[in-house]
Amino acid sequence: MLAWGNSIGVFSGTANPGLAVDIAKELGKPLGDLEVTRFPDNEIFVKYKENIRGADVFIIQPTCSPPNETLMELLILIDAARRASAARITAVIPFYGYARQDRKDQPRVPITAKLVANLITTSGASRILAVDLHSQQIQGFFDIPVDHLNVAPVLIPYLRDKLGKEGVVVAPDSGSVKLAQSYSDMLNAGLAVVAKRRINALSVASSHLVGEVEGRICLLTDDLATTAGTITAAATLLKKEGAKKVYAAVTHCLLGDIGRERLMSSAIDELIVTNTVPVGNDCGGRIKIFNIAGLLAEAIKRIHEGSSVSSLFKIEK
């Protein structure tokens, strides 16, 4: 077993350097010296500027926007570490891009989430550390070990205070029921489900509600938000049905201009997110950001030491 100390190397790509710095602080170890540059034609060049031969290397790089750039950078970082004779390479991917393309739901379409898993494995990764994958089945796309964290231990104390004893956790669509059920159990709250009909890639309509929300404080849960169509449409329906307040908890905040505009004009009182990806402005105080650096740092430490990671999921009642 490798000893804690110089045998571990923690490096950051360019996708979310702020999170990587915070992780390194939590570990009490500086980030490794790494050069990431672009050639004049925008090809990516990386160089480890310290010896990593025989080291346990952790590369922190969410494959967020722009996903093609951040993914390619991750692959090159892994390949460079493998060629520098690192003993083990763990790709720390707080957000796994292309995760929504995880099944063949139309004729003649790819399963891109599986393709990305193949690319990461082929590049030389030994292990994956991911956070709130869009679907559990993605873990099975890898032929290497996957440690799958969820952010509930970070969010639950805050959410418990917000919901109090009259809270209801609401799934904004059928695909989010399992996640909503888990939050409902952890918060000892009620459960409701909204039926969603997708109009196009940017718009959805929420039509039916199963559950009682009148006079209650509601918490919408989802793994990610990009255009915010699903959660804002659900929030409108909840307020129409008499909800006192509506909060939304989303792990990955990928909001673009459309999503931010929708949030600002929506019935959502507060959007609670994490910093798996850079979040930017808080939309006039409508976004509450939680730092998951401590959670990831503890997972990295346990992986390095060969101890249990699953115990991180325990929630204090």
Q: Which residues are catalytic?
A: 196
* Interatomic CA distance for residues 290 and 251, integer angstroms: 9
Q: How far apart are CA 9 and CA 7, in angstroms?
A: 7
| Phi, psi dihedral angles at 231 (to 5 degrees) | -75, -35
Q: Are 273 and 19 in contact (CB under 8 A)?
A: no
Burial 43-82 (b: 16+ CB within 10 A, else e): ebebebeeebeebbbbbbbbbbbebebbbebbbbbbbbbe
Q: Are 118 and 97 in contact (CB under 8 A)?
A: no
Sign of CA dihedral 91, 95, 98, 103: positive
Strand partners, 129: 92, 147
